[in-house]
Amino acid sequence: MNILGLIVEYNPFHNGHFYHMQESKKAAKADVTIAVMSGTFLQRGEPALLPKWERARMALEAGADLVVELPYVYSSQKASTFANGAVSILDMLGAAHLCFGSEDGKIEPFYNAIKQISQNEQSYSTSIKQYMNQGMSYPKALSLSFETINALKGELADLTKPNNILGFQYVSSILEQGSLMKAHTIQRTSAGYHDEALPSGDIASATSLRKAIFSGNETLKEIKPYVPESTYRILSGWSKEGNPFLSWERYFPYLQYNVLSMSGKELSEIYEVEEGLENRLKSSIKESSSFQELMERLKTKRYTWTRLQRMCVHVLTRTTKRQMEEAVNGERCPFIRVLGMNPSGQRYLGSIKKNLKIPLITNVHSFEHPALSLDLKAANIYAMGFPKQKRITRLKAEYATPPVRVGYEE
């Protein structure tokens, strides 16, 4: 069987995601499609728009066969760690193909880039350190250092582009883990990753869709042309039931409480709080009345917005460096948690279950691990973003919600 793996967030699932999924299936000639999806907090350091169960349903109704969770210890991380965790899950689930979206649209430039860096590893590493000593952010230092060793103009992936950066890490992880997965890439069409305005066509970025949802228009009709019917139905149903769409502003009071109630030393022990950032965070949050204002005060040339948001996520969940180290025991994920499936996905899972080298979880009561403990803690914090009358239900959801099932006869 040809098993296709996708690494996703679907925040929310839109027409561009649908295009990518369909083209990926064609490229891999897929019999089964597995999506590894981030849970409560995402790679850019943001809370998910709506819970993982609803996003898993979006994926299944759009054509995925099996959706499994990328744990917090990977989903809220820099690109390389994010990729390592997701690739390891797909590899252990027997995926023969991994297909990602990119600005380049061709897979060869990614392998060329990896080879070029490997051949110039010492000068590349030295260059990164020099740029960072000048006060530049890590991603900027990587990009500029890559340009200094790029002797194959046009033949290497452009590592200044966000999807190319993730794709580069996916391919690197496949090679580093010795996986037999074959990498493919589909060129992104129309909307750019960070585009904030809704376009004239029918493919919009998730960023622009979230901005429209939070615009205060009290309607989802504005985004209807840009999402599959199933996504629109799920979003509309969620809203009609009185549920909120989650953003950082709902968590700002809790973040503010954590920062102000912790000592500088306690803050410095939180994961990703480095180089005196605890002092900058404490002083900035006292002067801020919103998360947006806090971020504008925190932002510097050295630290990207995304890097600072991820730090804030870890402060929000009070995840320490030690806890993260204990939870990430090596590059491979220590368990697989199923979020949803259709009959094809269930059959495939049944056929490989006995041969899996790590536990398969459908019920969190049945397994203990430091990484799972962080997932549960993150889910509890995520629930605090809901109105009081909804919180009890959301706090129970992490323990009581079974995998989503789509395509079964009633």
pLDDT tens-digit series, residues 387-410 = 999 999 999 999 999 999 999 876
* pLDDT tens digits, one per residue of 321-367: 999 999 987 668 999 999 999 999 999 999 999 999 999 998 898 89
Q: Say if residue 230's pLDDT is above 60.
A: yes
Q: What is the predicted pLDDT for the residue at 264? A: 94
Instruction: Determine whether the annotation assigns residue 367 to a binding site.
Output: no
Binding residue per annotation — 193?
Answer: no
Half-sphere exposure of 311 (CA within 13 A, CB side): 24
Contacts 24+ apart (CB under 8 A), 385-391: 385/47, 385/244, 385/246, 385/250, 385/251, 386/243, 386/244, 387/242, 387/244, 390/242, 390/243, 390/244
pLDDT band for position 201 (cuts 50, 70, 90)? confident
Q: Is 192 annotated as a binding residue?
A: no
CB-facing half-sphere around the CA of 368: CA atoms within 13 A: 0
Q: Is 15 part of any known ligand binding site?
A: yes
Answer yes or no: are the C-beta atoms of 15 and 232 closer than 8 Å.
Answer: no
Tell me whether residue 188 is annotated as binding.
Answer: yes
Q: Which of 325, 339, 328, 259 is nearest to 67 (CA)?
A: 339
* pLDDT tens digits, one per residue of 261-306: 999 999 999 999 998 999 999 999 999 999 999 999 999 888 889 9
Question: Is 214 labelled as part of a ligand binding site?
Answer: no
Listed in sequence order, the residues at least 6 apart from 36 whose beta carbon sits closer than 8 Å to its beta carbon are 5, 6, 7, 8, 68, 69, 70, 86, 89, 90
pLDDT tens-digit map of 12-25 = 999 999 999 999 99
Q: Go through the domains of the chain in sequence order and give each one's CATH number.
A: 3-103+332-405 (3.40.50), 248-326 (no CATH)
List the single range of 43-47, 154-158, 260-264 with lowest mean pLDDT: 154-158
- 7 labeled part of a ligand binding site: yes
Distance CA 236, CA 104 (A): 35
Q: Is 340 annotated as a binding residue?
A: no
Section 112-132 average pLDDT: 85
pLDDT at residue 153 is higher than 60? no
**Percent of the chain topping pLDDT 70:** 95
Cα–Cα distance between 75 and 252 in angstroms, integer?
20
Residue 160: pLDDT band (50, 70, 90) is confident
Amino acid (one-letter) located at 269 = E
Identity of residue 387 = P
Structure tokens at 85: 């965790």
pLDDT at 234: 97
Q: pLDDT confidence of 137, banded at 50, 70, 90?
A: confident
2 in a known ligand binding site: no
Local structure of 32: helix, strand or coil: strand
Report how far residue 243's alpha carbon sits from residue 40's, in angstroms, rounded to the nearest whole number: 16
How many H helices and E strands in the chain? 19, 8
pTM: 0.92
252 annotated to a ligand binding site: no
Residue 343 among known ligand-binding residues = no
Question: In the structure encoding, which two tokens stand for residue 115, read together?
Answer: 């080879």
What is the residue-averaged pLDDT of the chain?
91
Choose between 179 and 202: higher pLDDT: 179
Task: Count Cβ atoms below 10 Å from residue 277 Cβ, excluding itself.
Answer: 22
- Does 101 count as an annotated binding residue? yes
Helix (H) or strand (E) holding 167: helix 162-176
Per the annotation, does 329 bind a ligand?
A: no
The stretch 104-115 carries a mean pLDDT of: 90
| 18 marked as binding residue | yes
pLDDT band at 197 (very low <50, low <70, confident <90, very high): low
Is 51 annotated among the ligand-binding residues? no
Q: Between these two residues, 382 and 187, which has the higher pLDDT value?
A: 382
Tell me the torsion sign for CA atoms 205, 407, 333, 92. negative
